[in-house]
């Protein structure tokens, strides 16, 4: 099974970029977008000047519990930049969503509870709500995480989107929002 098949079998269709989109990022934005692949993992990430964005991280089921995910995250942390990623909210019908959240919590990630993120999937045409998690070597305000996520959306998620999907994703200002005080909730608090 190739790297794209591994990712597309693990991640929901509404979270997946097309193979052409990812290959274009690797080829045309190879100075910032990378693939780290091994027999038991696939890690797709962007490294910009001030932060890292984990686009996809996959560890095969037979390697879970071996510490491979921890090693991959540790290597990213060695770059000494804030790391951001998107995670789906916990779904009671999918135990992997809770396990994934607990993994990132153990790895020292925080929930950017002030950031709302909802984009319409070009694959399903449904609104996909995601939560933003981040780790930082020094205490960074969520406003910086918000700016980094906007940059990621513009440079990575919507890169040549019309070319790959026949239409464009929504504008970043419609997808990423600062939540009001009554909308704030820390998903890690709910899971503790």
* pLDDT tens readout for residues 69-88: 999 999 999 999 999 999 98
CB 152 within 8 A of CB 25: no
- What does DSSP say about strands 83-87 and 52-59: parallel, antiparallel, or unpaired? parallel
Nearest C-alpha neighbor of 170 from the set 112, 130, 127, 115: 127
Q: Quick one: pLDDT band at residue 139, thresholds 50, 70, 90? A: confident
Q: How far is CA 24 from CA 37, 44, 165, 180, in A?
A: 17, 13, 13, 37
> Residue 22 burial (CB < 10 Å; 0-12/13-18/19+)?
buried
How many Å separate Cα 164 from the centre of its chain? 20
Length of the chain: 192
pLDDT at position 192: 41
Mean pLDDT of 41-68: 93
Residue 27 has pLDDT above 90, yes or no: yes
Q: What pLDDT, in 10s, does the model give residues 167-180?
A: 999 999 999 999 87
CB 120 within 8 A of CB 131: no
pLDDT at position 189: 61
pLDDT at position 98: 78
Residue 149 has pLDDT above 80, yes or no: yes
Compute the C-alpha angle 153/155/156, nearest 5°: 70
Q: Quick one: pLDDT band at residue 155, thresholds 50, 70, 90? A: very high
Percent of the chain with pLDDT over 90: 71
Residue 24 CB: number of other CB atoms within 10 A?
17
Predicted TM-score (pTM) of the model is 0.92
pLDDT at position 191: 45
Please give the Cα distance from 80 to 51 (Å, whole number): 9
**pLDDT, mean over the chain:** 90
Q: Quick one: pLDDT band at residue 47, thresholds 50, 70, 90? A: very high
CB 57 within 8 A of CB 43: yes
Element (H or E) spanning 22, and its range?
helix 19-28
Nearest C-alpha neighbor of 130 from the set 63, 53, 50: 53
Q: Quick one: pLDDT band at residue 140, thresholds 50, 70, 90? A: confident
């Amino acid at each position: 099974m190739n790297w794209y098949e591994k990712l597309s079998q693990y991640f929901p269709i509404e979270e997946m970029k097309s193979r052409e989109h990812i290959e274009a990022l690797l080829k045309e934005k190879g100075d910032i977008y990378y693939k780290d692949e091994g027999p038991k993992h696939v890690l797709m990430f962007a490294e910009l000047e001030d932060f890292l964005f984990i686009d996809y991280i996959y560890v095969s089921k037979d390697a879970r519990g071996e510490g491979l995910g921890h090693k991959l995250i540790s290597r990213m942390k060695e770059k000494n930049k804030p790391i951001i990623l998107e995670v789906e909210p916990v779904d009671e019908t999918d135990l992997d969503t809770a396990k994934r959240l607990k993994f990132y919590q153990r790895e020292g990630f925080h929930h950017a509870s002030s950031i709302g993120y909802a984009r319409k999937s070009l694959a399903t045409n449904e609104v996909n709500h995601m939560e933003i998690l981040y780790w930082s070597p020094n205490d960074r305000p969520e406003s910086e995480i918000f700016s980094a996520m906007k940059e990621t959306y513009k440079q990575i998620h919507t890169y040549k989107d019309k070319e790959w999907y026949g239409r464009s994703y929504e504008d970043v200002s419609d997808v990423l929002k600062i939540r009001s005080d009554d909308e704030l909730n820390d998903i890690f608090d709910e899971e503790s």
